[in-house]
């Protein structure tokens, strides 16, 4: 009787240690690729992207969810760093601001080459794993960053962008965001406009992953139907567990399953528990749910660290991924399923996107109609006035032709 009283807590502790040890063993071979981290935004806000500021030292920086020691402790082997600029830059300086955020990601790799290596393809990720460095990729968070320009889209691709979130929390002139589903914004494109469809086709051609975090349900469905390659939700969770419109509903999860796409679960408390407080177990619930509905191949991690104000207890920073993996092992996830969620599912999607790309295909060229753009301070070069000029010239010539007749009548 007394033996059993003290034995069971000891067994529980030993079992917990066993799962944690197993998690670390798995992650040594398959480190986590996280879909979304906003450290570059914190570097802008705190240091105006001045990495040589001694306070910005990523080895000692303590006020963020992310630093180099935490990344190593969390077995992070791949990270999509978010090149995020807010919606209030739309129709203003969004492109410039986005370029600056991509630049700071590149400079992170330059300044800390022993830790980070900037890569642009799935092969680069695998090579970084072998080298024990963090494969660093650029995800541009918000379609407003391309300023409705296919040329800007292509330029960002050449600078390393490998996913584009179609919207942030605002409509673009060609895609609707999640606030449409709450009634806070009005639908402008009913999902995707004709130009929005062209953007997706060009992303497929280039090999840029389509990210549906932040978009409306109509946009999700339109993109999943149109894309020739699997898509991702870089940082979203399951709507059935937390009825927040940033999350993915069941009918869309079915489309995720049918298309071989991927939902990378967000850790933000408001999307995990629909309240200010959440815990690690509830994040595991979302991973379980998506696995059960869309399949084990459809789930990944998209922590949203350094982009949110509240994270679950037990997942306080990027060092805590092994604890989440240990919880999944406790829930009897297989090692193959764990490796899938950590990295293999994302690599599969990335490779499918690369395979579907075709740089020999003629690029899309049709620009967005001028009347779909807000005037603000933008110029109109390239939007030819020739048709109206020809009409004006024709009218002028007609007037001149009538002039002799008028003179004769005088």
Q: Is 337 a catalytic residue?
A: no
Q: Is 144 a catalytic residue?
A: no
Catalytic residue chosen out of the listed positions 38, 211, 317, 323: 38
Q: Is 158 a catalytic residue?
A: no
Catalytic residue chosen out of the listed positions 65, 202, 211, 235: 235
Q: In this structure, what token pair is assigned to residue 205?
A: 């051609």
Distance of CA 254 to CAs 177, 231, 236, 298, 344, Å?
A: 20, 13, 15, 10, 20
Catalytic residue chosen out of the listed positions 144, 214, 244, 286: 214
For the chain, the C-alpha Rg in angstroms (whole number) is 25
Catalytic residue chosen out of the listed positions 202, 211, 285, 304: 304
Q: Is 286 a catalytic residue?
A: no
Catalytic residue chosen out of the listed positions 34, 65, 141, 297: 141
Q: Are 64 and 19 in contact (CB under 8 A)?
A: no
Catalytic residue chosen out of the listed positions 65, 144, 168, 286: 168
Measured between alpha carbons, how far is 146 from 409 in angstroms, rounded to an integer? 59
Exposed e or buried b for every residue in 341-376, given b needs 16+ CB within 10 A? bbbbbbbbbbbbbbeebeeeeeebeebbeeebbeee
Closest among 116, 34, 42, 84 to 306, alpha carbons compared: 42
Q: Is 304 a catalytic residue?
A: yes
- H helices of 30-88, where? 39-47, 68-73
- Give catalytic residue positions: 36, 38, 141, 168, 214, 235, 304
């Amino acid at each position: 009787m007394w033996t059993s009283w003290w034995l069971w807590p000891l067994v529980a502790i030993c079992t917990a240690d066993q799962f944690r040890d197993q998690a670390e063993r798995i992650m040594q071979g398959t480190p986590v690729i996280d879909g979304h981290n906003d450290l570059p935004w914190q570097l802008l806000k705190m240091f105006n992207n001045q990495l040589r500021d001694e306070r910005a030292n990523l080895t000692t920086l303590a006020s963020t969810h992310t630093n180099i020691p935490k990344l190593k402790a969390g077995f992070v082997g791949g990270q999509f760093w978010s090149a995020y600029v807010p919606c209030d830059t739309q129709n203003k300086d969004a492109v410039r601001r986005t370029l600056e955020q991509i630049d700071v990601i590149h400079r992170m790799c330059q300044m800390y080459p022993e830790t980070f290596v900037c890569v642009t393809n799935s092969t680069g990720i695998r090579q970084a794993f072998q080298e024990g460095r963090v494969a660093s990729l650029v995800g541009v968070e918000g379609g407003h960053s391309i300023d409705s320009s296919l040329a800007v889209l292509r330029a960002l691709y050449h600078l390393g962008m490998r996913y584009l979130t179609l919207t942030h929390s605002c409509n673009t002139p060609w895609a609707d965001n999640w606030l449409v589903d709450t009634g806070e914004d009005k639908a402008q494109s009913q999902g995707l406009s004709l130009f929005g469809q062209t953007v997706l086709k060009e992303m497929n051609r280039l090999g840029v992953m389509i990210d549906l975090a932040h978009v409306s349900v109509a946009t999700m469905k339109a993109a999943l139907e149109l894309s020739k390659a699997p898509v991702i939700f870089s940082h979203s969770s399951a709507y059935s567990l937390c009825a927040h419109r940033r999350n993915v509903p069941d009918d869309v999860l079915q489309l995720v399953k049918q298309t071989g796409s991927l939902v990378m679960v967000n850790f933000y408390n408001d999307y995990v528990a629909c309240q200010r407080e959440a815990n690690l177990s509830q994040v595991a619930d979302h991973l379980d749910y998506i696995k059960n509905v869309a399949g084990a191949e459809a789930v990944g991690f998209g922590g949203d660290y350094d982009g949110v104000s509240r994270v679950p207890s037990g997942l306080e920073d990027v060092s805590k991924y092994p604890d989440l993996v240990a919880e999944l092992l406790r829930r009897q996830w297989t090692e193959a399923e764990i490796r899938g969620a950590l990295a293999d599912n994302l690599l599969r999607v990335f490779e499918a996107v690369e395979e579907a790309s075709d740089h020999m295909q003629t690029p899309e060229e049709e620009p967005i109609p001028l009347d779909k753009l807000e005037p603000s301070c933008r110029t109109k070069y390239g939007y030819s006035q020739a048709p109206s000029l020809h009409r004006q010239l024709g009218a002028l010539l007609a007037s001149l032709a009538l002039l002799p007749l008028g003179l004769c009548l005088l």
